[in-house]
Chains A and B, each alone.
Chain A
Amino acid sequence: MSELDINDKVKEMLEKSAENAGSKNSEKTFVHPEDEEREVIAPDGSIIKVNPIYDYFSGKKPTEEKPSNGVVEKFLNWARSESIWVLGFGTGCGSIEIPPLMTPRFDAFRFGIQMRPTPRQSNAFIISGYLSVKTLKRVIRSYEQMPSPKYVLALGSCTINGGMYYDSYSTINRLDKYLPVDVYIAGCMPRPEALLAGFMKLKELIKEGKGEKANEYARNFDEYKANQKKIIKDWNMPDYNW
């Protein structure tokens, strides 16, 4: 196949996808044209079918992880509790109190807490208040990309029962419907001191072997997914973002 032919083919396919995109938009399917199932031409000229949403990720369901035996698990739990690495994703207004927490005045580093820029390196997620549906979608993706065992801290009224946005069309009311939460901290917003107390509680839980919410998520995966899909209308992502 000559280069010219390939270009023609590309053009043809582009037109086709553009048509599809047009018709799809009117039906409100919310899948971006670039994410649609389509055919692409490999450098050698062969045609490959791709489905960008599912091909690039594992759609496999999460599985429960059994704890190790006795002393080993205890040691692991101690290690986990002393190295809480928080994903640096401030989802709501509560994140304004995270810089004071991480800077010298309250210095959370001395308790083994630090922020990480990517979910792949973190094991704790601070949901700092309200979650709009648009952010919830990103939060779910980030949460699912975090390695197990992972923990969720929920800050403020908003995560418990909607807080002051209880009647907003855009924010969720109860976080526990969509993600398993380990520790709730009351306040609007909680002070850094209260946040630290929350971390201490989380450490306690982990040491006692009760920080098993990731397994709970795996166990009740279908239920969580159903709730998530009910409100995220444009589900243009794989079911599990691992």
Chain B
Amino acid sequence: MNIKDVFTPFTTWSKVVKDPVTIKNPIGREAAPRYRGFHKNDIDVCIGCGTCEAICENQAIDLVPVEGIETKSGDSGLRPRIDYGRCCWCALCVDICTTNSLNLTNEYTWVDTDPDAFIFTPGVDKKSWDTKEEGWKKPVPNYHFYGQTRVPMEELHAEERVESFVEFVKGYSKKQAEEEADRCVACGICTATCPAHMGIPDYIAAIRNEDMEEGMRILYDTNPLPEICGRICTHKCEDVCSVGVNGDPLSIRWLKRYIADQIPADVDKYNEILYTKDIKNNNKKVAIIGTGPSSLSSAYYLSLLGYKITMYEKLPQAGGMMRYGIPEYRLPYDAIDKDIDYIVSLGVDIKYNVTVGKDITLEQLHEENDAVFAGTGLHLGRSTRIPGSDHENVYQSVDLLRDIVTGAEVPVERKVVVIGGGNVAMDITRSMARLQKAKYGEVNIITTSLESEDIMPADREEVVEAREEGCTIIPGYGPQEVMIENGKVVGLRVWKCLSIFDENHNFNPKFDESDERVFEGDMVIESIGQGMDLSYLSEDTKKGLEFGPRGRVQTNDNFQTSLPWLFMGGDIIQGPDVIHGIANGHRAAMAIDDFLNQGR
């Protein structure tokens, strides 16, 4: 220690002449652009999926109904309400937000005398910082709390798959399925959109937990045809998947298929897993017309309740449209058999090659049984009724598809034109492509539809895959005439379609006559929709029924017609698709049970 040590500290006095560092007006000073301040939420973008609530470690977020936000498919109608008596401003809720609607602003001053005031619904309760732009947003790039991209499904290559009717989708492996299931945020928005209201997050959780048997039980709660649905469902759930808002939606359909595929095709095993080994018979009988999805579904749920079920099938095998309308490459027969065999094992009796109305009347069924369910589906093709459409080389897609399955001879020409833009049109297009490939070694099909590319009703992947297989798809043209030369079909004349519906939303297509094209073809296949065949209803029965628009039988919410013993469901009432049929069948089964147990 020396004298220097006494004087050196005084050098700090040099600071006296420096400018002060004090901030003149610190209150309300702008925070950094990335600052994590108070919440704001774009409630029009938010879908109320509740992932913010799930990730909040402080239980600061509640989901509450908000006035003016309607609960609808894809939107729960709930919005997050945040308790600032809990929040720690970690912004995990922002980072996981599926819609990117929840953000933090860089506002940070909130002083109040009332402790109960610190609870608010961002976006609904107006706050001064709602208009602020700066603040914490989800970091970029490659910063995700759940997988953004779908695990790709392995498929046969286009050249390979067009060779045969072998199923080309390979299905997920265990690792792939678990990786895909891991992407689920378990919000449950999809459940409301699914016509059968399947417990989607629950069975996806079962995949994560590697508990396939539990997954199977969850599937069978609402859907007795998982193998079928896992392949050909129209997966409306995936359209509303919250993971899909920013990223690929979850492959819910493939995951369902994965669960069903893991259980071997063994009815004893099924019975063991689903606890259906011995069901008590309740001595009541129900007849079911048809063996399509709605019929099978109602048969299954009625069997569980102990009813004796007899099913009547016009064709030699069960499955209805699923077997006779959907090509094998999409839905192989062993998958159909697997689901149906289990339902049959519950004691369901299927009478094949019996046409109700011809071999047995509906009235007879009524007398022999306590109730009747009819799920007869749409098996009649609709015609375009354009000039030339009555030619023998103009076919209906349903008929051809059925013939392919039954093994009847199918006419295959070198050049084929298909009219229609739905999934059935794609099915026949791709089936014909396979037949052409087998017969001529090349594919030459033109498919045209009234709807333009963006509003084609067919699934996107169907269109893409059809093109991969060599089919030409030219949407947006309306057929005008089947051109016939020398008694032979030579092509289809079409006009460019400008609009399909008029301002009253009625079907009234408008064409641009100057844009005319001719699609060459030796045969034309019409696939513009199907009609129902209700010929099994006798005149007396028809009198007792009410009919709605387009010849549909009117039923109540439980698919009961005005004849209380007759229930109807499936494509003839709703749809057309498999999952609606399953949902109808389930609902009708419960209604039949209620109806028959009213006296109880």
Chain A residue at minimum C-beta to C-beta distance from B30 = A193
Q: Is the CB of B115 within 8 A of A163?
A: no
Is B21 touching A105 in the complex (CB atoms < 8 A)? Answer: yes
A163 neighbours in B (Cβ, 8 Å):
58, 85-88
8 Å CB contact of A185 from B58, B89, B110: B110
Judged by a CB distance under 8 angstroms, whether B59 is at the interface is yes
With A105-B21, A174-B115, A196-B26 already in contact, the answer to whether A190 and B85 are too (CB < 8 A) is no
CB-based nearest A residue for B31 = A191
Asked whether, in the complex, the Cβ of B84 is within 8 Å of the Cβ of A183, the reply is no
Q: Distance in Å from the Cβ of B247 to the closest Cβ of chain A?
A: 30
Is B108's beta carbon under 8 Å from chain A? yes
**B22 nearest CB neighbor, chain A only:** A107
Cβ contact within 8 Å between B59 and A194: no
Determine if A188 and B23 form an interchain contact, defined as CB atoms under 8 angstroms apart.
Answer: no
Tell me the smallest distance from the CB of A200 to a CB of chain B, in Å. 7
Answer whether residue B20 sits at the interface, using C-beta atoms and an 8 A cutoff. yes
Q: Is B113 part of the contact surface with A, judged by Cβ < 8 Å?
A: yes
Interface string of A161-199 (1 = CB under 8 A from B): 111101000000011100001111111101111101110
| Residues of the B chain whose Cβ atoms lie less than 8 Å from the Cβ of A133 | none
Q: How far is the CA of A166 from the CA of B29 in the complex (A)?
A: 31
Do A186 and B113 touch across chains, with their CB atoms under 8 A apart? no
CB–CB A161/B83 < 8 A: yes
Residues of B56-87 at the interface with A, using a CB-CB cut-off of 8 Å, are: 57-60, 83-87
Tell me, yes or no, whether B112 is within 8 Å of chain A by CB.
Answer: yes
A74 at the interface (CB under 8 A from B): no
Decide if A105 touches B23 in the complex (CB within 8 Å). yes
Closest chain B CB from A103 CB (angstroms): 9
- Contact B88 A193, beta carbon cutoff 8 Å: no
Are the CB atoms of A184 and B86 closer together than 8 Å? no
B118 interface neighbour in A107, A110, A184, A193, Cβ under 8 Å: A184
Q: Is the CB of A161 within 8 A of B113?
A: no
In the bound assembly, the distance between CA atoms of A110 and B25 in angstroms comes to 11
CB–CB B111/A162 < 8 A? no
* Cα-based distance from A200 to B87 in the complex (angstroms): 24
Known: A104-B20, A105-B22, A107-B22. A188 touches B118 (CB 8 A): no
Known pairs A105-B21, A106-B23; A157 contacts B111 (CB<8 A): no
B27: Cβ under 8 A from any A Cβ: yes
* CB <8 Å contact, B23 and A157: no
Asked if A205 and B113 sit within 8 Å, CB to CB, the answer is yes
Tally chain A residues at the interface, Cβ within 8 Å: 36
B20 to chain A, nearest CB (A): 6
In the bound complex, what is the Cα–Cα distance between A162 and B26 (angstroms)?
28
0/1 interface trace, chain B 112-146, chain A, CB 8 Å (1 if under): 11110010000000000000000000000000000
The yes or no answer to A24 lying at the interface (CB within 8 A) is no
A201 at interface (Cβ–Cβ under 8 A)?
yes
Chain B 32-52 per-residue mask, 1 if CB under 8 angstroms from chain A, else 0: 000000100000000000000
- How many angstroms between the C-alpha atoms of A14 and B577 in the bound complex? 91
Q: Are A194 and B86 in contact (CB under 8 A)?
A: no
* Chain A residue nearest to B38 in the complex (CB): A186
Question: Counting chain A CB atoms within 10 Å of each CB, which of B27, B110, B111, B115 scores highest?
Answer: B111
Q: Does A160 sit within 8 A of B, measured CB to CB? A: yes
- Which residues of A have CB within 8 Å of B84? 157, 160, 186
Q: Which residues of B have CB within 8 Å of A186?
A: 38, 84, 110-112, 118
Instruction: Name A157's contact: one of B38, B88, B114 (CB within 8 Å).
Output: B88
Question: Which chain A residue shows the least CB distance to B36?
Answer: A188
CB distance from A81 to the nearest CB of B (A): 15
Query: B487 interface residue, CB < 8 Å from A?
Result: no
Which secondary structure characterizes the binding site on chain B?
loop
- Assess the A164–B88 pair: CB atoms within 8 A: yes
- A193 to chain B: which residues have CB within 8 Å? 26-29, 108-109
Q: Is the CB of A157 within 8 A of B108?
A: no
Kindly state the separation between the CA atoms of A183 and B113 in the bound complex, as whole angstroms.
5
Name the B residues within 8 Å of A104 (CB-CB). 20-22
The one of A176, A188, A194 in contact with B109, judged by C-beta atoms closer than 8 angstroms, is A194
B89 touches A187 (CB 8 A): yes
List CB contacts (< 8 Å) of A4-26 with chain B: none
Q: Please determine whether A201 and B111 come into contact, CB atoms closer than 8 angstroms.
A: yes
A184-B112 in contact (CB<8A):
yes
| Distance, CA A192 to CA B112, complexed state (A) | 16
Residues from chain A with Cβ under 8 Å of B20 in the complex: 104
Contact B109 A166 (CB under 8 A): no
Task: Take A186-B110, A193-B109, A194-B108 as given contacts and tell me if A176 and B115 are in contact as well, using a CB distance cutoff of 8 Å.
Answer: yes
Asked if A160 and B118 make an inter-chain contact with CB atoms under 8 angstroms apart, the answer reads: yes
CA of A57 to CA of B90, assembled, Å? 45
Give min CB distance, B87 to chain A, whole Å.
Answer: 6
- B26 in contact with A166 (CB, 8 Å): no
Contacts of B23 in A (CB 8 A): 105-107
Contacting residues, chain A, for B83 (C-beta < 8 A): 161
A194 and B110 form a contact (CB under 8 A): yes
- Interchain CA distance A105-B25 in the complex, whole Å: 11
Contact A182 B29, beta carbon cutoff 8 Å: no
Contact: B21 with A190, CB < 8 Å?
Answer: no
Q: How long is the Cα–Cα vector from A193 to B59 in the complex, in angstroms? A: 27
B223 to chain A, nearest CB (A): 39
Are A188 and B89 touching (Cβ within 8 A)? yes
The reply to whether A190 and B27 contact each other, CB–CB distance below 8 Å, is: no
Which chain B residues lie closer than 8 Å to A183 at the CB level? 111-113
Taking CB atoms and an 8 Å cut-off, the chain B residues in 420-469 that contact chain A are none
Q: List 30 A-B contacts (CB under 8 A).
A: A104-B21, A105-B21, A105-B22, A106-B26, A154-B115, A157-B60, A157-B87, A160-B118, A161-B83, A161-B86, A162-B86, A163-B58, A163-B87, A163-B88, A166-B58, A175-B115, A183-B111, A183-B112, A184-B115, A184-B118, A186-B111, A187-B110, A188-B89, A191-B108, A193-B26, A193-B29, A193-B108, A197-B111, A201-B113, A205-B113
Interface residues of chain A, those whose CB is within 8 Å of chain B, are 104-107, 110, 154, 157, 159-164, 166, 174-176, 181-188, 190-194, 196-198, 200-201, 205
By Cβ-Cβ distance, the 9 closest A-B pairs, closest first, are A161-B85, A160-B85, A186-B110, A188-B88, A164-B88, A201-B111, A186-B84, A107-B22, A164-B58
Known: A157-B86, A164-B86, A186-B112. 14 other contacts (CB 8 A): A105-B21, A106-B23, A107-B23, A160-B85, A162-B86, A164-B57, A164-B58, A184-B112, A184-B114, A184-B118, A186-B111, A197-B27, A197-B109, A205-B113
